[in-house]
Structure 1
Amino acid sequence: MIFSVVLLVLIGAAALWLVLEPLRRAAPTDPDAPERARLLAERDQLYSELNAVEDEARRPDLERRAALTLRALDALPPAPRIGPGRSRTLALGAVGAVTLLTVAGALTFIPRWQLASLDAGEAGKVQAVLKLPGLKERAQRSQKNADYLAWGRAAFDSANYDQAVSAYGNALKTDPRQPEALRRLGILLLTRGDQGGAALPAEDATRAALLIRTAAQLAPDEAESQLLLGFALSRFGQDQEALAALERYRTLDPAGRDADDAITALRARLNQGDPALKLYAASCASCHGAAGAGGIGPSLRASTLSRAALRSVTVNGKGAMPAYPTLTDAELTLLLDLMEQWQKEG
């Protein structure tokens, strides 16, 4: 913050010196004055639009046009120094312009410099907080579904969960089949007890689970649907189904790391209580996924092989699949029973 203030003072001082310097000397008229005046007016207009822009989708185009205008100004020959007769009025006007631009810079460019020092997650949260009042006002004024969703997204991303509930609730009133609103309302309802320190009533927990399941059915290929479904299932003790959903999340979003801790905990719980899963985790999970949903190797849940074919591939190997001829009959039976169970579950 101190660095930003010092930098603004230096910019203001340098600009002030450059503006007042023409008072000291006289020079011939500027042959490029009309074009320079046009570009300066265009630049000021673009700066004004940038400072007041509400639709962030317009900002890149405005910034591009401003950059082109500044480039055109730079391409003009330097303006001759103007004599003291006219320069006093021009200088005083320019002082006001410099002050205005300095304030505008403090409100626009400086926050961007400060955001550059944050990581991506922190910067996104700060930007969401800054946008929240405007998005809320727009949604309440227009009562349009898209505006409610934009408000809800910004509120959820900035951890303003009360506003997120209000925004997504209003969005569902306009269209009850919106996966994002359904799953996020569901997870907020499900974790409300965690935030307040009180136990969640069973009825609310059931309602929350239904919202999240519905969202996953409507949008099964959206990573967040599977992520929140996995978290919800794990809270109800459905560890196997939760692990399958979280594995699916990682397949849909390979860079996502939000489920790593939950997957590790679920694997540990499952492997302790199920000898088949323990054996599978030791020999097969690294390629076929912890819940058989696939990874480097194909999905065992989507497999249509018969029990005999599964036995042959497991014992003898096939293609990139290594052979496991040392498995005992009991171990092989455990694995085959598990794979057939997954085939039925899908």
Structure 2
Amino acid sequence: MLSLILLALIVGVSLWLVLSPLGAAAPSDPDAPERERLTAERDRLYGELAALTDERRRPDLERRAALTLRALDALPPAPPPANRAGRTRRLALIGVGLAALVTVAGAVTFVPRWQLAALSPREAQTVQNSLALPELRRRAEASRSVADYLAWGRAAFDSALYDEASSAYAAALRLDPRQPEALRRLGIVLLTRPAQGGKALGPEEAEQAFLLVQTAAGLAPNDAESQLFLGFALVRFGEDEAALTALERYRTLNPSGRDADETITDIRARQNESDPGLRVYAANCASCHGANGGGGALGPSLRVSNLSRDGLRQIILQGKGAMPAYPNLGTDDLNALLDVLERWQKEGE
């Protein structure tokens, strides 16, 4: 409604500016050469846009066309000849009408595109998701299909409209109770509800929400988001070691993902403070063997090793193959590290 009011004001002001000079004597037009140049440039750009075959050029051509239109609008209105005032008035009215149409068309095409171009890809996607939500919701409620409920939930979730996302994912789960995306996203929304300013969860509600995330990870163990949300949920329940395993798995499945970095850093800091062996491991071994000893880009898993304590000690102090030696580890640090390695051997993968 506000947009329509503003548009009406623009049209009214344009009419007044264009028509009010028509009653006066027609002065000379000192801006005629510049007006002709800009008009020719505008027509040329419109012609290129109409015949465009390479869509990569469209943003640049539209930008230049907009600048040309802006320059034309900045010029004073051209004075009509005295003997053609009536015709000029009619032409002015037609021109204002066309300008209004161009304004409306620009409001739904060019302007949103320019606005989105100024945003980051994620911000632009969020805006587009928000604009699409009413139609996605209508489609889902009409079709009542899992795919449409998921599309609605995904757009709402990515737009941080978590109540709406919960409604969509809950509807999807009524149709397919084993849908991994709906399970994990509904579960994580419930678990993080207090952080979003919602009502705090009771123990039973928190357990049920965690079960949703855990079930999704079991159904889709190779989905990066499943492991990410499982790690976040485990941290909430104080299961740092299991959380670290899930978050490292997320990193393996999505090497470019950075969503787990801060949580992994926090977990390692807590572990290093409480366990001297983990502190020694993080400083000397984690870069090759992984944060929790499960293997990394260079080093094998230490959890499946069957070496004795003395065998581990010898390799640490003297090195073996590609592994460097650490002869300067103090006795206390070495024993603490060996305690960790032996504990991991018992735990396994």
Tell me if TM exceeds 0.5: yes
Gaps of 5+ in 2: 1-6, 12-46, 59-92
Match of 2:69 in 1: none
Matched, 1:140 2:156: no
Aligned in 2, Cα 1:104/1:318: closer, same or farther, shift over 3 Å? farther
2:228 paired with 1:224: no
Q: Is the 8 A contact 1:230 1:243 kept in 2?
A: yes
- Is 2:180 aligned against 1:179? yes
> How many percent identity over aligned positions?
59
> How far, CA to CA, are the matches of 1:342 and 1:149 in structure 2?
40
Residue 245 of structure 1 aligns with an amino acid whose one-letter code is A
Distance 1:302-1:104 versus aligned 2 partners, 3 A rule: farther
Q: Distance in 1 between matches of 2:104 and 2:218?
A: 50
Aligned to 1:326: 328
Residues 54-79 of structure 1 show CA distances to partners (whole Å, capped at 9, x for unaligned) of xxxxxxxxx97xx9xxxxxxxxxxxx
With over 3 angstroms needed to count, the CA separation of the structure-2 counterparts of 1:123 and 1:302, relative to structure 1, is farther
Is the Cα contact below 8 Å between 2:180 and 2:219 reproduced in 1? Answer: yes
- Report the Cα distance in structure 1 between the residues aligned to 2:232 and 2:300, rounded to whole angstroms: 22
* Gap change, CA 1:113 and 1:293, over 3 Å in 2: farther
Once the two structures are TM-superposed, the CA of residue 157 in structure 1 deviates from its matched residue by 0.3
- Give the superposition deviation at 1:175: 1.2
Give the aligned partner of residue 162 of structure 1: 163
Cα 1:191–1:173 shift into 2, 3 Å: same
CA distance in 1, matches of 2:302, 2:113: 48
**Larger displacement relative to structure 2 (240-249 or 158-167):** 240-249
1:108 matches 2:109: yes
- The CA deviation at 1:126 is 0.7
* 1:119 positional shift: 1.1
The 10-residue stretch of structure 1 (265-274 or 105-114) with the greater mean CA deviation from structure 2: 105-114
Q: Distance in 2 between matches of 1:104 and 1:342?
A: 65
Cα deviation, 1:26-59, whole Å, max 9, x if unaligned, reads xxxxxxxxxxxxxx9xx8xxxxxxxxxxxxxxxx
Contact kept? 1:145, 1:175, Cα under 8 Å: yes
Give 1:294 shift: 3.3
2:206 is the counterpart of 1:239: no
Cα distance in 2 between the residues matched to 1:191 and 1:283: 35
1:152 partner letter? G
Determine the C-alpha separation between the residues in 2 that align with 1:269 and 1:247: 16
Asked whether the equivalents of residues 251 and 295 of structure 1 are also in contact (C-alpha less than 8 Å), the reply is no
Measured after TM superposition, the shift of residue 279 of structure 1 is: 1.2
Kept after mapping to 2: 8 A contact 1:132/1:151: yes
Q: Is the 8 A contact 1:182 1:214 kept in 2?
A: yes
The answer to whether the Cα contact below 8 Å between 1:216 and 1:226 also exists between their aligned partners in 2 is yes
Q: Which amino acid counterpart does residue 270 of structure 2 have in structure 1?
A: R
| Deviates further, 316-325 or 223-232 | 316-325
Larger mean CA deviation between 304-313 and 168-177 belongs to 304-313
Q: Which amino acid aligns with 2:232?
A: F
Could you tell me how far apart the structure 2 residues matched to 1:293 and 1:114 are? 47
Structure 2 equivalent of residue 207 of structure 1: 208
C-alpha deviation, 1:262, in angstroms? 1.2
Corresponding residue for 1:317?
Answer: 319
Instruction: Quote the residue 2:307 is aligned against.
Output: 306
CA 1:299–1:206 in 2, change beyond 3 Å: closer, same or farther?
farther
Q: How large is the RMSD of aligned CA atoms in angstroms? A: 3.9
- 1:246 CA displacement: 1.5
Between stretches 229-238 and 97-106, larger displacement belongs to 97-106
TM-superposed deviation, 1:254? 1.9
2:140, 2:152 within 8 Å by CA — same for their partners in 1?
A: yes
Extract unaligned runs of 5+ from structure 1: 10-39, 44-62, 68-91
Taking the aligned partners of 2:157 and 2:315, their CA distance within structure 1 comes to 47
How far is 1:105 from its partner? 3.5
User: Which secondary structure state, in structure 1, belongs to the residue aligned with residue 322 of structure 2?
Assistant: coil
- Report the AA paired with residue 316 of structure 2: T
The two structures have a TM-score, normalised by structure 1, of 0.68
Distance 1:221 1:269, change over 3 A: same
Give the aligned partner of residue 338 of structure 1: 340
**Following TM superposition, by how much is the alpha carbon of 1:222 offset from its aligned partner in structure 2, in angstroms?**
1.4
Q: 1:105 to 1:285 in 2, by over 3 A?
A: same
Question: Larger Cα Rg: Structure 1 or Structure 2?
Answer: 2
Are 2:267 and 1:261 equivalent residues in the alignment? no
Query: Are 2:305 and 1:283 equivalent residues in the alignment?
Result: no
Contact 1:300/1:339 (8 A) holds in 2: no
Q: Secondary structure at the match of 2:123?
A: helix
Instruction: Say whether the 8 Å CA contact 1:233–1:242 is kept in structure 2.
Output: yes
In the superposition, relative to structure 1, how do residues 180 and 340 fare at CA in structure 2: closer, same or farther (>3 Å)? farther
Distance 1:200 1:111, change over 3 A: same
Q: Contact (CA 8 Å) 1:300, 1:342: kept in 2 or not?
A: no
1:305 deviation in Å? 4.3
Determine if contact 1:186/1:211 at 8 Å carries over to the other structure: yes
Q: Quickly say closer, same or farther: Cα 1:146–1:315, change in 2 above 3 A.
A: same
SS at match of 2:304: coil
* Aligned residue-pair number: 280
